[in-house]
Amino acid sequence: MGAIDDLAGNNRRFAAAYGRGHLDVRPSLRLAIVTCMDSRLDVFAALGLEDGQAHILRNAGGVITDDVIRSLAISQRRLGTVEVALIHHTDCGLQMITDDGFRAELQEATGMAPSFAIESFTDVDEDVRQSIARVRHSPFLLHRSEVRGFVYDVDTGALREVESDAAVLGGG
């Protein structure tokens, strides 16, 4: 039996004790968080978040891809969020590969070059700044000035804010 069976069993106990009732589909903090899929980052615990308060978008690296922009556009235009927090982290899996190397590996294994960008990085602060810039420059988003970026330390649990070059980018 795989892990999923255990988790489905856990859910039966969770649902039996569930007392929250119905929450509004619109996040009460009017906040969207984009972060990495990393298994060590418990976003709710690390930020003191509760259910119903924020949208959480996760992928490998917390990268601002077209699909993340799609989600943010819906989050802002239909579900009322106005702020965006980006949380990258130390010891990320994307620091262990290179774009060219992983792309070649996929192509050699499958005979197809992937259509997506790999988005590996070496400097996490620079990666956060690039993600902030992508949000700030997206024409599909309504609210692009309240975007802040952080690095989460997976060994200490501490969050550190990354200074963005918003002035250079012109904000917006």
Binding residues for Zn ion, per CB under 5 A? 36, 38, 92
Cα of 66 vs its chain's centroid, Å: 13
Q: Which amino acid is at 58?
A: R
Instruction: Output the smallest distance, CB 125 to Zn ion, in A.
Output: 14
Instruction: Output the smallest distance, CB 61 to Zn ion, in A.
Output: 5
Nearer to Zn ion, 72 or 87 (CB): 87
Nearer to Zn ion, 127 or 164 (CB): 127
Nearer to Zn ion, 36 or 72 (CB): 36
Nearer to Zn ion, 36 or 84 (CB): 36
What would the DSSP string read from start to end of 77-137? HTT---EEEEEEESS-GGGSS-HHHHHHHHHHHHSS--SS-----S-HHHHHHHHHHHHHH
C-alpha distances out from residue 108 to 93, 113, 119, 120, 156, Å: 21, 9, 19, 19, 39
**Among residues 140, 2, 17, which one has the least CA distance to residue 73?**
140
Instruction: Output the smallest distance, CB 171 to Zn ion, in A.
Output: 27
Q: How far apart are CA 62 and CA 147, in angstroms?
A: 14
**Reduced DSSP (H G I as helix, E B as strand, rest coil) percent helix, strand, coil of the chain, to 5:** 35, 15, 45
Instruction: Output the smallest distance, CB 161 to Zn ion, in A.
Output: 18
Nearer to Zn ion, 23 or 117 (CB): 117
